[in-house]
Amino acid sequence: MKTQNSIRHIAILVHPYSTLLNISGPMEVFQTAINNIDKVDKKVDFSYQIHIISAQKTKKNEIASGISIISEGCFKAITYPIDTLIVAGAPRRNGYKKEVLNWLKKQAGIVRRICSVCAGAFILAEAGILIGRKATTHWKLCEEMANAYPETAVNMEAIFVKDGNVYTSAGVTAGMDLALALIEEDLGRSFAI
């Protein structure tokens, strides 16, 4: 049995009206890795545990498609060490809570990897995490992001971008490509594909 220290906690931060595939895509990829981790061709002393956490106080999160996702709780209640934090994209029309942005900025210096899927890059940028970094987002939003955050070098062609411990992915399904790349870093290319 694996000890608590051998668990790599993957936390997916959900905002109101996030796109379902921004959440479920990376989640399914990591769950497949969990289900098959015993097939890795090298010694592995860890496993993943996936968490859905909320950017709001309630556990129930309304998603863009009209369904609700129940998270384990608010981001402020996290007691385990997050290894990889994935920020799901959400509409920008309502802005983002300052306490969430401050928490993300703090986490960027603590977690091994902080990531965004689709418009989640706007949340990282708003938190100041993308200043002086390369990033990407959904292709329809790249120009808007480049104009709104000129201190970020927006790559309009990439499926995902890694800059230090910060990873950003293009739109929706690219979140699955990003999750596969993260798993490849941990467990090797042959396992990831």
Tens of pLDDT, residues 3-37: 445 999 999 999 999 999 999 999 999 999 999 99
Q: Give the C-alpha distances (Å, rounded to integers) separating 173 from 4, 108, 153, 187.
A: 31, 23, 22, 21
Report whether 11 contacts 77 (CB < 8 A). Answer: no
Could you tell me where the DSSP H helices lie in 84-173? 98-108, 120-126, 142-148
Tens of pLDDT, residues 57-102: 999 999 988 999 999 999 999 999 999 999 999 887 667 899 999 9
Here the CATH number for the domain that contains residue 42 is: 3.40.50.880
Q: Which strand (E) or helix (H) includes residue 185? A: helix 174-187
Report whether 22 contacts 172 (CB < 8 A). Answer: yes
Nearest-angstrom CA–CA distance, 20 and 174: 13
Q: Give the C-alpha distances (Å, rounded to integers) separating 55 from 148, 150, 182.
A: 22, 26, 23
Tens of pLDDT, residues 125-139: 999 999 999 999 999
- How much is the pLDDT for 173? 94
Domain count, the chain: 1
Name which of 25-29, 95-99, 155-159, 163-167 the model is least confident about.
95-99
Where b means 16+ CB within 10 Å and e means fewer, 131-158 reads eebbbbbbeebbeebbeebeebebbeeb
Q: Kindly report the three-state secondary structure assignment for every residue of 8-74.
A: EEEEEEECCCCCHHHHHHHHHHHHHHHHHHHHCCCCCCCEEEEEEEECCCCCEEECCCCCEEECCCE
Extract the tokens encoding 56.
Answer: 């709001």
- How much is the pLDDT for 3? 46
- How much is the pLDDT for 5? 53
Average pLDDT over the chain reads 94
The residue written with tokens 């920020």 in the block is 87
- How much is the pLDDT for 172? 86
Q: Does 41 score more than 80 pLDDT?
A: no
Q: Does 2 score more than 50 pLDDT?
A: no
Greater confidence (174 vs 91) lies with 174
Q: What residues make up the domain containing 113?
A: 4-192
- How much is the pLDDT for 94? 65
